[in-house]
Structure 1
């Protein structure tokens, strides 16, 4: 039994290490490099959503922000009408951007501001939920996080003045 548990732990450690190795490690220097790095970007966003905020988390978030700044295909637009939660918890801004990037990449580089904003908020919600003890409590954001997808989309449209 001890051998089985030890083997299971070693296997999980190997899987976790392999997943960390497949995260974004650098900002590409060419359009082809950006395209090739998209799977690592998507994995990095997922990792940010499930990992406690610490120095490594912030380093990966900073790298993701740099990727978004120089990406030739993905453009992120943060509108203060929908991202006021980043004032109280700035780390949620990186989560928002990550969610936007992932949604855009997975949906043919869409630039739909409503859909991408919803995806960004949902990503920020995951980070907020996973880091409840380290982030500042935000009752307004908690109300936003409690909305289902259709209600959140309606709220985003209202905030952005989209019909």
Structure 2
């Protein structure tokens, strides 16, 4: 049996945070492939936390749908997740082809930022932070954050 089945949604939440931490460790490096892999892994883990919460019967599909409908960040998370997992993605929340790219500061060769180009230009680091913050608020409101400390 897979260890994740024993950990349930808290295990998925922690996995999401580990991908966030891995991404922050390589964020400013020149290892573009690893950066993009970690971005995609984070957003896939972040989006699929919803499935774990519903499967573990700690949230309803209706609650999760309402959460995603109220959060443009989680809608973008969904689009990044699905666009990086599926060749054809026909039911986006906002953008069927979200684009992630680097921008260089012409005055500092080593300086760049990673951005999502979708409904508007958004720094990836801010989007990651907002997705985690939105999940944390939801879990806290449901009294589930305390389960993460056990």
Which TM-score band applies after superposition, normalised by the shorter structure? 0.3 to 0.5
After TM superposition, the score normalised by the length of structure 1 is 0.34
Greater relative contact order (CA < 8 Å, ≥ 6 in sequence): 1
Whose strand fraction is larger, Structure 1's or Structure 2's?
Answer: 2
After TM superposition, the score normalised by the length of structure 2 is 0.36
Give the number of the structure whose alpha-carbon radius of gyration is greater.
1
